[in-house]
Amino acid sequence: MKFTLNLNAKSHTVADLVVVGAYAKPAAKEEAKKTTKKATAKKAATTEAGIVNNHWEKEIKTAFEAVKNSKNFKATKGEKFTFTHNGHEILVLGLGEKAKLESEDLRKELAKLSKDVSKYSKVALQFDGLQTKGNTEDSLQILVEAFTLAAYKFDKYLSDAKKSELKEVVIDSTEKSAKAKKLQAVIDDTLKVTDAINYARDLVNEPPNVLRSTEYAKRIKADVAKIKGVKCKVLGKTEMKKEKMDLFLSVNNGSGFDAQLVHLTYTPAKANSKTKHIALVGKGLVFDTGGYSLKPGGSMMNMKFDMAGSATVYAAFRAAANLGLNVKITCILGITDNAVNELATMPDSIVKARNGKTVEILNTDAEGRLVLADCLDYACDQKPDAIIDAATLTGACLVALGGEVCGLMSNNDKLAQSLLKSAKSADEYMWQLPIIPEWTKDMKGTISDLKNIGSSGWGGTAKAAAFLQEFIKDDIAWAHLDIAGVGDSQSHLPYCPAKGASGTIVRSLLEYLKSNA
Ligand code: BES
Ligand code: ZN
Ligand code: ZN
């Protein structure tokens, strides 16, 4: 899909479909229209609401006046009105009151619109009337996000995939041509972000018989080879053994495929001693059977998505590096499956972690924390200013926060606040859960330093975080994101596929990285 900017537009571009936005009249004015004299009400209707149509030819202006005065079309959010004029197909899209149109509202409406218009090859959007009350650049970013994220389909295994017809989106705007460079940069930068999100979605949706641990690492290695400033190191079983990552490797015991630790570093061109260094760590379970603590069939279904944490942090890393953000980033992906054979780790096993702590593995299905534990300790050795991990860690997160909210836990309030702020500006739901001393105590063992599950399932999400915190050294600021709920099937978001990988939280992480750049 190509985005073409047409600035200083005097008319609409000739296209298969022309889309015009319409704002609803503010409720008070609507009331005024009923009660006060007609003349006053008419003035309100043309100045405070309706269709931004300052560059249209006379006849089409008259047609829009008719739409504006229509009894039935109120320009409520998502309401549509279609007509043809002089052979042009025109779609008027209601956006509700402009003053109340939040960025996420616009993203959702444009995502729905993009699906509705996918049968057209070329669509011209009248951008002046498709904006929030915020600035033009923000609305343009939202437009590109909505169209490219909503267009995503995982159809490579379908013999008869239906392709979208939409090839070109022209953005007609009365903004001066002097702004061309700035607005084009918004488009290009947004595409770097949504490309990364769609890349992550592909990884998550890939079936486990294709995306083995080794294949996953290979794909990342090939992908980063194209990015400036990025170095890639892949540790296999032998190297990880040397690193004393026995806790991570214990998860890989029952697998026919080597565990892989992908260690990426992005160093910005302008890096100096003041440049911030952020480490991102991701759970990369290409499949989670539960191991000997086997999952029942129903719960095992879709456990290919148990690597979504690693795909999320990788996408944030990829986008940040492609954008050339001025922040150093270490990205650690802990990749393996959790399979069962006669060598698989048995419950009751006691294993020593890379940091020297011993862990009694009472439930082999609580495996993500074992992988992350060694990865977090390894990440600490890179001496970052902060570490953020993302993982589909606990089913309990869905119980606590539902399927729509990302869980956040941290040892550092400033970092937690900063992440919450980043999520807010990315329009993504994130909520902090506490790590209380009682839960830290509950994760201590009796015959080992730690155990990998708490004494009860209550508060399971934050107890898992309490376990992870044991592997953070030197008081490094650390935050854990449990994306078990938001990693897939965000059917309430029209810019996410109803089923499968969502690609959410990448934009939150990017906001965070930008705030450190
Ligand atoms: N990958 C799962 C977590 C999960 C479950 C994510 C359901 C999304 C949906 C994780 O490895 C797991 O199995 N966790 C256990 C932990 C328990 C044994 C303490 C869980 O949540 O049941
Ligand atoms: Zn598990
Ligand atoms: Zn898991």
User: Is 412 a residue whose pLDDT tops 50?
Assistant: yes
Q: Cα dihedral angle (317, 267, 144, 509), rounded to 10 degrees?
A: 40
CA of 295, closest atom in ligand 1? 13
User: Is 453 a residue whose pLDDT tops 50?
Assistant: yes
337 lines ligand 1 (CB under 6 A): no
Q: Cα dihedral angle (303, 216, 315, 478), rounded to 10 degrees?
A: 70
Helix ranges restricted to H, 49-135: 58-68, 103-116
Q: Which ligand is nearest to the CA of 484?
A: 1
288 lines ligand 1 (CB under 6 A): yes
Q: Which ligand is nearest to the CA of 452?
A: 1
302 lines ligand 1 (CB under 6 A): no
- The ranges of the chain annotated as CATH 3.40.220.10 are 2-28+45-189
Q: Which of 302, 359, 394 maximizes ligand 1 atoms within 8 Å of its Cβ, making it the mutation to test the pocket?
A: 394
| Nearest Cα residue to atom 17 of ligand 1 | 366
Neighbours of 154 (CB within 10 A): 17
Residue 321: pLDDT band with limits 50, 70, 90: very high
Q: Which residue has the higher pLDDT, 55 or 469?
A: 469
**Radius of gyration, CA atoms only, the chain:** 26
484 lines ligand 1 (CB under 6 A): yes
User: How close is the Cα of 259 to the center of ligand 2, in Å?
Assistant: 16
User: What pLDDT sits at residue 132?
Assistant: 96
User: How close is the Cα of 352 to the center of ligand 1, in Å?
Assistant: 22
* SS (HEC) of 7-68: CCCCCCCCCCEEEEEEECCCHHHHHHHHHCCHHHHHHHHHHHCEECCCCCCHHHHHHHHHHH
Average pLDDT, the chain: 95
CA of 368, closest atom in ligand 1? 11
State what percent of residues in the chain have pLDDT above 90: 88
Residues forming a β-bridge with 351: 359
User: Is 10 a residue whose pLDDT tops 90?
Assistant: no
pLDDT tens-digit map of 475-488:
999 999 999 999 99
Amino acid at 337: D
Neighbours of 409 (CB within 10 A): 23
User: How close is the Cα of 445 to the center of ligand 3, in Å?
Assistant: 22
CA of 464, closest atom in ligand 1? 19
User: Is 40 a residue whose pLDDT tops 60?
Assistant: no
Helix (H) or strand (E) holding 299: helix 297-300
Whether 257 contacts 210, CB under 8 Å: no
Residue 35: pLDDT band with limits 50, 70, 90: low
Mean pLDDT of 100-126: 97
Amino acid at 499: K
pLDDT tens-digit map of 370-401:
999 999 999 999 999 999 999 999 999 999 99
Give domain 206-515's CATH number out of 3.40.630.10, 3.90.1150.10, 3.40.630.30, 3.40.190.10: 3.40.630.10
460 lines ligand 1 (CB under 6 A): yes
pLDDT tens-digit map of 164-218:
999 999 999 999 999 999 999 999 999 999 999 999 999 999 999 999 999 999 9
User: Is 45 a residue whose pLDDT tops 70?
Assistant: no
Contacts of 54 (CB under 8 A, 6+ apart): 128, 174
Please identify every residue whose CB atom is under 5 Å from ligand 2, which is an ion.
Answer: 288, 365, 367
User: What pLDDT sits at residue 46?
Assistant: 37
Looking at beta carbons, which pairs linking 436-441 to residues 24 or more positions away fall under 8 Å? 436/462, 439/463, 439/466, 440/466, 440/469, 440/470
User: Is 50 a residue whose pLDDT tops 90?
Assistant: no
Residue 42: pLDDT band with limits 50, 70, 90: very low
145 lines ligand 1 (CB under 6 A): no
- The ranges of the chain annotated as CATH 3.40.630.10 are 206-515
Which residue matches tokens 């890379």? 354
Q: Which residue has the higher pLDDT, 52 or 180?
A: 180
Helix ranges restricted to H, 161-279: 180-205, 213-224, 237-242, 246-252
Nearest in space to 287 (alpha carbons), one of 333, 252, 241, 316: 252
CA of 303, closest atom in ligand 1? 1
Residue 31: pLDDT band with limits 50, 70, 90: low
CA of 463, closest atom in ligand 1? 19
Amino acid at 126: Q
Mean pLDDT of 139-149: 98
Residue 27: pLDDT band with limits 50, 70, 90: confident
The set of catalytic residues is: 295, 369
Q: Which of 365, 398, 468, 486 maximizes ligand 1 atoms within 8 Å of its Cβ, making it the mutation to test the pocket?
A: 365
Yes or no: is domain 2-28+45-189 CATH 1.10.150.20?
no
Which residue matches tokens 């330093």? 449
User: What pLDDT sits at residue 1?
Assistant: 94
Residues forming a β-bridge with 126: 20, 172
Which residue matches tokens 């951008």? 127
User: Is 353 a residue whose pLDDT tops 60?
Assistant: yes
Cα torsion angle, 321, 324, 325, 330, sign: positive
What is the number of alpha carbons within 13 Å of residue 234 lying toward its C-beta?
A: 17
pLDDT tens-digit map of 296-320:
999 999 999 999 999 999 999 999 9
User: How close is the Cα of 483 to the center of ligand 3, in Å?
Assistant: 11
